[in-house]
Amino acid sequence: MTGATVPTKPGRVAASAPQTTRAITVITKRNLLRNIRLPQLLILATVQPIMFLLLFNYVFGGAIGGTLPDAAGGEYINWLIPGLLVQVAAFGAGQTALGLTEDLSKGVIERFRSLPMARSAVLAGRTLSDLIRNGLVISLMLLVGVLIGFRYQTSFAGLVAGMALAMVFSFAFSWIMATIGLLVKNPEAVQPAVFLSVFPLVFASSVFVPTQTMPGWLRAFADNQPVTVTVDALRGLILGEGALLPGNSVVGQILLSLFYSGLILAIFVPLAVRVYRRTVS
Amino acid sequence: MAYPIVRVEGINKTFGGTVKALDDVTLEFPAGIIYGLLGPNGAGKTTLIRVLTTLLRPESGRAEVAGVDVLADPKTARTKIGLAGQFAAVDDYQTGRENVEMVGRLYGLSAAQSKSRAGELLERINLADAADRQVKTYSGGMQRRLDLAASLVGEPEVLFLDEPTTGIDPRSRLDVWELITDLVKGGTTVLLTTQYLDEADQLADRIAVIDEGRLISEGTSDDLKDTLGGSVIELSVAPDRETETLEALRRICETEPTINTLTREITVPAVEGAKTLTEVVRALDSASIVPNDLALHKPSLDDVFLTLTGHTAEVETEEPPPSAGRKRRLRSK
């Protein structure tokens, strides 16, 4: 018996660039497939923002309409849509946290982690599939918005650019949510965790109403936080510079929004991957 | 002993600074066998599997799988292992085939390779007929088998199975046992954890008993049973005759008889087998004690576990079933 050696296969070590890309594609497709095979997930995810849109528009619209900048063309829906695009982008990113906790609780993450593949592939695939999903949800909401009277006041190119900016923000936010999901781990506990982290940012912002009437301390926060900056950039692109606070430029808000998204990615991509590498359910 | 395919040396892992999940665990075993890690819930079995499958880093110690240092080179280690965790880690909205093909693609196989490998494996686990159905239509046992297939995609040298039969029905359990046995015949080495004593007894060539993070015994099933020194006699008497019975037994045995506080079953080592049994019968008879039940048997792993740890395994079963029969229900102390 002595001297017997373990037969070794040539180490098929993964994580070369093409293999990583392939792993990301496989994971992305897998996640998207879930939305197709369980269509109720996507339907509910779409119905909710549309409900928000209708409620806010018809409940608040009359009261708020008069206080809006002229750029909104006197219609609350025009003011609301850019805000809701960002709000839905932020809440939709919460799906990343939920999806990861579900995979964790089923042991799927442990299976993935035991495979010879890039450590970043699962998270990249997850955030990418959520980006695609959120793009679809946002587009459908926009369509309903158009049906009830939303019109862009600048150009179609401005609208498309605004959507793109919202998607960049959504993608960055997904990485925050990935970190939260991996830390919280439990699918039930993660929902309030997502809510707690998104809700204040969305409400203490210019999403629903202009910030001018907020108390000074709150306004100082609201005017400068990433959600407001991104919403304002979208309003600038979709409604024109008149929709912005005096002294702010459209380009300035776009750059600031991109800066925030970049900053979030710079912090949370490495952080999420780091947490992922240690996460066991 | 052949070159050990798994070697664990002085592994320590603590959770939350206080809970010692693994306490200086050292073990090794050769290729081509089924190695069983036996212990109750929370004993550290899963933690050890996680260390060996690169999921968890211990505070100290060394771990080697198929000649690869798991801690220094986890990437290469992952090409040598397969893992099926405590729950079937399969997507219920994908078909069986899609699940296995996906793992193949993630493993680094081409689309065509993944396809043929998945077909092969599904055939092997007897799921070819159900391969194109979504997994949500599968029974628990089928999902487990599919999960096993997924863990085999990379043709692992060592397969880690964490409680492969927990929570599935007895029939499926036999299917999984058969599958594992077949795998080992085909040259795979299997490390499995279990809290079922009969499972370890049936399947494992070698067994490590683990409790509260410590390896308390290691050897073949027979080795472990021998630690009790051969057969034992088990008997039960009417409650009001227990004291008398114990006294009668003490007169003929060198070892102190033990009594299970729960089942009231009295156990004495049968040093000379049937001869001891005869002596016990005589002693009882002369004291006019009629036992309710009296049997001679080779120690089960239940007995081993009780002796080694001072408490029993299978802590899950809270209520003793109406007819406990010979199989002892086990609970902590």
Q: How far apart are CA A263 and CA A266, in angstroms?
A: 5
Of the candidates A242, A227, A91, A85, the residue with the CA atom closest to the CA atom of residue A153: A242
Question: Measuring CA to CA, how many Å separate A202 from each of A221, A243, B133?
Answer: 12, 18, 42
The share of chain B scoring above pLDDT 70, in percent, equals: 89
- Residue B217 β-bridge partners: B209
Nearest alpha-carbon partner for B145 in B90, B200, B78, B80: B90
Q: Beta partners for B11?
A: B25
Tell me the ipTM for this assembly: 0.87
Question: Mean pLDDT across the stretch B105-127?
Answer: 94
* Contact check, Cβ <8 Å, A107/B87: yes
- Torsions phi, psi for B139 (to 5 deg): -75, 170
pLDDT tens track for B198-213: 888 889 999 999 988 9
CA distance A111 to B93: 17
Long-range contacts (CB closer than 8 Å, 24 or more residues apart) made by A217-221: none
Q: Which residues contact A87 (CB under 8 A, 6 or more apart)?
A: A49, A52, A202, A207, A227
pLDDT of residue A62: 85
The stretches of B60-125 forming alpha helices (DSSP H) are: 74-78, 96-107, 111-124
A183: distance to nearest CA of chain B, Å?
A: 15
Asked which of A71-85, A229-243, B79-93, B296-310 is least confident by mean pLDDT, the reply is B296-310
Calculate the alpha carbon distances from A15 to A20, A275, B8, B35, B134 in Å.
5, 19, 27, 31, 30
Q: Report the pLDDT averaged over residues B77-101.
A: 94
Phi, psi of A179 (to 5 degrees): -65, -45
* pLDDT of chain A, 281 residues: tens digit per residue: 344 444 444 444 445 778 899 999 999 999 999 999 998 988 988 898 999 999 999 998 888 877 888 888 888 999 999 999 999 999 999 999 999 999 999 999 999 999 999 989 999 999 999 999 999 999 999 999 999 999 999 999 999 999 999 999 999 999 999 999 999 999 999 999 999 999 999 999 999 888 988 999 999 999 999 999 999 999 999 999 988 888 899 999 999 999 999 999 999 999 999 999 988 86
Q: Please answer whether residues B230 and B298 qualify as being in contact, where contact means their C-beta atoms are separated by less than 8 angstroms.
A: yes
* Angstroms from A81 CA to nearest CA on chain B: 34
Closest CA to A74 of A150, A155, A142: A150
Residue A96 near residue A174, CB atoms below 8 Å: yes
Q: What is the pLDDT of residue A41?
A: 86
Question: What is B231-297's CATH number?
Answer: 3.30.70.100
Q: Which two tokens stand for residue B217?
A: 């015994």
Which residues in chain A touch residue B50, judged by CB atoms under 8 angstroms apart?
A: 110, 280
- CB contact under 8 Å between B105 and A23, yes or no, is yes
- pLDDT at position B10 over 60: yes
Q: Domain-by-domain residue ranges, chain B?
A: 4-220, 231-297
Q: What is the average pLDDT value for chain B, to the nearest integer?
A: 86
Question: Chain B residues within 8 A (CB-CB) of chain A?
Answer: 1-3, 5, 30-31, 50, 53-57, 66-67, 75-76, 78-83, 85-91, 93-94, 98, 102-103, 105-108, 134, 150-151, 154-155, 157
3-state SS, residue A246? coil
- Residue B214: pLDDT band (50, 70, 90) is very high
What residues of B are in contact with residue A120 (Cβ under 8 Å)?
A: none
- Greatest Cα pair distance, chain B, in angstroms, is 78
B94/A13 CB distance under 8 A: no
Q: Residues B237, B291: contact at Cβ < 8 Å?
A: yes
pLDDT tens figures, B11-56: 999 988 888 999 999 999 999 999 999 988 888 999 999 999 999 9
The more confident residue out of B113 and B270 is B113
Contacts of B75 in chain A (CB under 8 A): 13-15, 116
| B77 close to B65: Cβ distance less than 8 angstroms | yes
Closest-CA distance, A170 to chain B, in angstroms, reads 26
Is it the case that residue B331 has pLDDT exceeding 60?
no
Q: Which of A11, A114, A117 sits opposite B55 (nearest CB)?
A: A114
Q: What integer pLDDT is reported at residue A116 of this predicted model? A: 93
* pLDDT at residue B314 is higher than 70: no
Q: Across the strands, what pairs with B232?
A: B269, B297
Categorize the per-residue pLDDT at B163 as very low, low, confident or very high, splitting at 50, 70 and 90. very high
Tell me the C-alpha distance between B93 and B77, whole Å: 30
Alpha-carbon span B230 to A180, nearest angstrom: 56
Residues of B within 8 A of A4 (CB-CB) are 2-3, 30
Note whether A113 contacts B55, CB cutoff 8 Å. yes
CA-to-CA distance for B85 and B160, rounded, in angstroms? 8
pLDDT at A204: 94
Token pair for B238: 């009417």
Beta strands of chain A (E only): which ranges? Answer: none
Which among B4, B2, B23 has a CA at the least distance from the CA of B13? B23
Q: Which residues of chain B lie closer than 8 angstroms to A8, CB-CB?
A: 66-67
Phi-psi region of A101 (alpha: psi -120 to 50; beta: other; left: phi over 0): alpha
A 164-223 residues with CB < 8 A to B: none
Asked if B4-220 and B231-297 have one fold, the answer is: no
pTM: 0.83
Pairing type for strands B4-15 and B60-65 reads: antiparallel
pLDDT band at residue B110 under the 50/70/90 scheme: very high
Per-residue DSSP letters for A145-174? HHHTT---SS-HHHHHHHHHHHHHHHHHHH
CATH class, domain B4-220, is alpha beta
Q: Give B68's strand partners.
A: B65
Res. B316: pLDDT tops 60 = no
Q: Which residues of B touch A1 (CB under 8 A)?
A: 1-2, 30
Listed in sequence order, the DSSP H helices in B138-203 are 140-152, 170-185, 197-203
How many angstroms separate the CA atoms of A42 and A129, rounded? 13
Residues of B within 8 A of A112 (CB-CB) are 106
Interchain proximity B157–A14, CB inside 8 Å: no
pLDDT(B306) > 80: no
